[in-house]
């Protein structure tokens, strides 16, 4: 327990009683829009620490998401691009072989359609 000299005991007791009375009044006083005074004081005292903690955790989370978690992303993107390009080149090679090495000619290669006129 805190050692208080006997000559200051009455001052400490008086300060304690005054603080207790102020806190009890704060519980009783109600503001119109903000609620009870004790709540306003509590929110005002706790909010800066909560904001600091929230921004600290947010910074850590963003650092993790945007740096550490993305270290292998470039390598994975290159691998996926290579995997996606492989079927396209295989399809192009297969289509070139089926046409005898000729590039696609478009509509000109289709046989003409015989049309009969009106009777």
Q: What is the mean pLDDT of each run of 10 residues along the chain (119 residues)?
A: 72 91 86 80 90 92 81 85 81 64 54 66
Cβ-based neighbours of 12, under 8 Å, separated by 6 or more = 4
Count other C-beta atoms under 10 Å from residue 26's C-beta. 15
Place of tokens 């909010």: 47
- Output the pLDDT for position 103: 54
Tokens representing 63? 């650092």
pTM: 0.40
- Output the pLDDT for position 25: 87
Residue 21: alpha-carbon gap to chain centroid: 45
Place of tokens 């620490």: 49
- Output the pLDDT for position 68: 76
- Output the pLDDT for position 46: 92
H or E stretch including 81?
A: helix 73-98
> Are the C-beta atoms of 95 and 104 separated by less than 8 Å?
yes
Instruction: Name the pairing type of β-strands 35-36 and 30-31.
Output: antiparallel
């Amino acid at each position: 327990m805190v050692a208080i000299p006997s000559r200051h005991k009455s001052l400490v007791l008086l300060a304690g009683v005054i603080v207790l009375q102020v806190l009890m009044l704060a519980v009783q006083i109600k503001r119109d829009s903000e609620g009870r005074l004790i709540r306003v004081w509590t929110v005002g005292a706790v909010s800066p620490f909560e904001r600091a903690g929230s921004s600290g955790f947010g910074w850590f989370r963003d650092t993790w998401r945007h740096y550490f978690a993305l270290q292998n992303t470039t390598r994975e993107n290159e691998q996926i691009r290579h995997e996606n390009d492989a079927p396209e080149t295989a399809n192009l090679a297969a289509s070139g072989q089926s046409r005898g090495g000729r590039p696609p000619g478009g509509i000109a290669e289709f046989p003409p359609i015989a049309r009969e006129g009106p009777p």
